[in-house]
Structure 1
Amino acid sequence: MTKDECERAIRTLVHQWADEVHPGKDKGQLYDTEFIRWLKDNHPETLQFRSRMSTTDVVEQWFAQETKQTWRD
Structure 2
Amino acid sequence: MEADLEHYLEPGVGLLQDNASGCAWKNAAGKKISCAARETEALVSDLMVDQPLLWLLVSFSVGILLGKRLFRGN
> What TM-score comes out, normalization by structure 2 length?
0.29
Higher helix fraction: Structure 1 or Structure 2? Answer: 2
If you compute each CA radius of gyration, which structure gives the higher value, 1 or 2?
2
More RCO (CA 8 Å, sep 6+): 1
> What TM-score comes out, normalization by structure 1 length?
0.30
